[in-house]
Structure 1
Amino acid sequence: MLSQRQLDILRLVIQLNTETGEPIGSKTLMNAGIKASSATIRNDLVVLENQGLIEKPHTSAGRVPSLKGYRFYVDHLLQPSQMKQEDITRIRQSFDQEYTALNDIMAHSADFLSQLTNYTAISLGPEMTSRRLTGFRVIPLNKQQLVAIIITDKGNVESRVFKMPEHLAYSDIETIVSIANEKLVGEQLVTVYNKLRTEIPMILQKYFVTTRGVMDVFDTILASTFKDKVYISGQMNLLDNQMISDVHQIKSFYSLMDNQELLSNMISAPNEGIEFRIGSENDNELLSNMSMITASYEISEYGNGTIAIIGPTNMAYSEIFTLMDTYRKELANYLSDYYRLLDS
């Protein structure tokens, strides 16, 4: 059981180390307001070190927080900071522009959070499964390439370039588009997914001698529509913060950032609210010396979304908590108004 002074010391070690990046010693803690002798503070530091909450770099007499110390701080000592009104106004004004699709809002959220924090930011919109497929077109770019345009009823627009299958003519693509518009457009995406596995293959048998490769066209065009799109910004910030050091790590991290499905699963918060994952709690070796903060938000009747940032373990958790909490609420309010306009 830690004393109140020891708790105060731990809080200050974390806060001061976050500000300076330097190990914190007894004299610094005395100057920061701990009312005890230097010897008493040193004894308290030993107690905290024995508890595994702080550690002593071999080249310094000061202490730095351990991952266990950060977790204890987040769970027991964190006090949300007060966000300035001008910062709240800045967040609100960031939404004060024309958006042509939900994709743009989600991409903007990642960009804005990355700029605010100087960390890597990730944005995931409300779930796709409740949406309806409202538009489906395929346009030739040249003799070898086609672009498919898929639109859902909640403002999502996806475009996908794919290679013209060798064994199909453009008239065959027109037939596929016609079938999609007749049987799939207007349906919820979960229904579209089910029909692609059941009804559509049977219909295709009426139009094609063999359906070999035809279903691949459907899968190629529509595959991304059933997946939640993840938007990322500020990947280079991890290099600036010296959290990734060698070429292998850089390549691995960018590969991780390109894996939409893995990222979606990784940042989807199991509980409503804000969650801190520190070091090994991320279940990914690449993030073992980083912290991920996820914040979920709910849009009534449209599902849940998530914003997240990835940064160093010694980030200013109090300020980040307040920022993420404020931003998720403002984003939810804006999206609610956005959806109301779409439905009106």
Structure 2
Amino acid sequence: MLTDRQKIILSLIIQNYTSNGQPVGSKKLMDEGVNASSATIRNDMKVLEEYGLLEKTHSSSGRIPSMKGYRYYVDHLLKPDKVARQEIDQIRLSLKKDIHEIDDIIRHSAEMLSQVTSYTAFSLGPEMKDRKLTGFRIVPLNDKQILAIIVTDRGNVESQVFRIPENVASSDLEKMVKIINDRLVGEPLATVYQKLRTEIPMILHRYFQTTEGVSRLFDVILNEAFEEKVYVSGGMNILNFNQGPDIHQIKSMYTLVQDPNELVRLLIPFTDPVHIRIGNELENELLQNMSLIQANYDIEGHGTGVIGLLGPANMPYSRMFGLVEVFRRELANKLADYYRSLD
């Protein structure tokens, strides 16, 4: 489709535009080392524009990449930057902080990635389906609230404050803890989930005169153990990339970033180690000028996690790709070390 020179021109325009946000002309490309006359370069740029890979901001301007141009570049021309040793050392040092829970490691990785890039970062821990429920406690806080604590065999600790339903007595809570300890502690989470839907409702009817409040509380508390914990950091950074003056759009974007569940829906299953979606591929009109880099990381024997980076479509892809690769590797190493410490 493209000649070698046209590929070089497209790459240079994208690299320049993502660095400084300015349209790129033929003189700049000659200065960058394109071995051709200004007229020849302009002709190649016109061809790239006809292919839909470049756009003009106005008739006499240089060119900027189109969404289709970014897509072609990512698929065919992208070469990840090598991350500087100093940056890698800083990432490793930050991940070596005295963190005692898996969730803290995953949360911290999202915060770090967002700080380094000034974009919105996502971090999802390894799959939990093979883990076991090893501990459960309920701590009364007052007459109306309890603290429920759930522990798995791989160090995940969930704690959350719940309001006690009006028809649930303190003696009911003691019975609930006994049921969980007798019937569910030591079981794989997949088995716990199945029993919550089959065996446990029948047991609750046996122990309680009325099960409505207890059943709901029971279900809510233990469902915490099955939630896929996706941490979002730097959500408000999205507002920095919305350049439109439409107040309604700004309000809609603000609503989006305030709801982590909506942001989490952007993450989709994929098989490639690193996957990039651009513009309309995100299937959200508010994000049509943005891109999402999503990467899997594998931990042998413990499943697969995901990190993601959401930023403007004109992000410096080579640098961001390189950083995501480093985070993917270093986070996997950190979690693998953590799991080994539990064996």
TM category (shorter chain) comes to: over 0.9
Q: CA RMSD in A?
A: 1.6
Matches within 5 A, 1:198-237: 198-237=198-237
Match of 1:116 in 2: 116
> Does the 8 Å contact 2:256/2:263 carry over to 1?
no
1:167-204 deviations in whole A, cap 9, x for unaligned?
11111111111101111111111111100111111111
Shift of 1:14: 0.2
Q: Which moved more, 1:127-136 or 1:309-318?
A: 127-136
Shift of 1:38: 1.5
Matches within 5 A, 1:283-322: 283-322=283-322
Q: Unpaired segments of 5 or more residues in structure 2? A: none
Q: Whole-Å Cα distance in 1 between the matches of residues 93 and 244 of structure 2? A: 33
> Does the 8 Å contact 1:106/1:125 carry over to 2?
yes
Shift of 1:264: 4.6
Shift of 1:242: 3.9
**1:326 corresponds to 2:340:** no
Q: Whole-Å Cα distance in 2 between the matches of residues 243 and 124 of structure 1? A: 29
Match of 1:273 in 2: 273
Using a 3 Å threshold, how does the CA distance of structure 1 residues 244 and 159 change in structure 2: closer, same or farther?
A: farther
1:119-142 deviations in whole A, cap 9, x for unaligned?
111100001211111111111111
Matches within 5 A, 1:66-105: 66-105=66-105
Using a 3 Å threshold, how does the CA distance of structure 1 residues 130 and 236 change in structure 2: closer, same or farther?
A: same
TM-score (norm 2): 0.95
**1:39 corresponds to 2:34:** no
Secondary structure at the aligned position of 1:226 is classed as coil
> Does the 8 Å contact 2:24/2:63 carry over to 1?
yes
Q: Whole-Å Cα distance in 2 between the matches of residues 258 and 17 of structure 1? A: 31
> Does the 8 Å contact 2:137/2:148 carry over to 1?
yes
> Does the 8 Å contact 1:125/1:305 carry over to 2?
yes
Match of 1:253 in 2: 256
Q: Which moved more, 1:78-87 or 1:170-179?
A: 78-87
Shift of 1:268: 4.2
Q: Whole-Å Cα distance in 2 between the matches of residues 102 and 91 of structure 1? A: 17
Shift of 1:70: 0.4
Shift of 1:56: 0.8
Q: Post-superposition, which runs of at least 4 consecutive aligned residues in structure 1 deviate over 6 A?
A: none
Using a 3 Å threshold, how does the CA distance of structure 1 residues 317 and 46 change in structure 2: closer, same or farther?
A: same
For 2:255, give the aligned amino acid: S
Q: Unpaired segments of 5 or more residues in structure 1? A: none
For 2:235, give the aligned amino acid: Q
Q: Number of matched residues? A: 340
For 2:331, give the aligned amino acid: L
Match of 2:178 in 1: 178
Q: Whole-Å Cα distance in 2 between the matches of residues 234 and 267 of structure 1? A: 16
> Does the 8 Å contact 2:232/2:260 carry over to 1?
no
> Does the 8 Å contact 1:129/1:189 carry over to 2?
yes
1:190-248 deviations in whole A, cap 9, x for unaligned?
11110011111111122112322321011221222211101111112222344686442
Using a 3 Å threshold, how does the CA distance of structure 1 residues 284 and 242 change in structure 2: closer, same or farther?
A: closer
Aligned-pair identity (%): 53
Q: Whole-Å Cα distance in 2 between the matches of residues 197 and 67 of structure 1? A: 47
Q: Whole-Å Cα distance in 2 between the matches of residues 342 and 136 of structure 1? A: 19
Q: Which moved more, 1:54-63 or 1:282-291?
A: 54-63
Using a 3 Å threshold, how does the CA distance of structure 1 residues 22 and 8 change in structure 2: closer, same or farther?
A: same
Using a 3 Å threshold, how does the CA distance of structure 1 residues 244 and 328 change in structure 2: closer, same or farther?
A: farther
**1:4 corresponds to 2:4:** yes
> Does the 8 Å contact 1:272/1:297 carry over to 2?
no
For 2:153, give the aligned amino acid: D
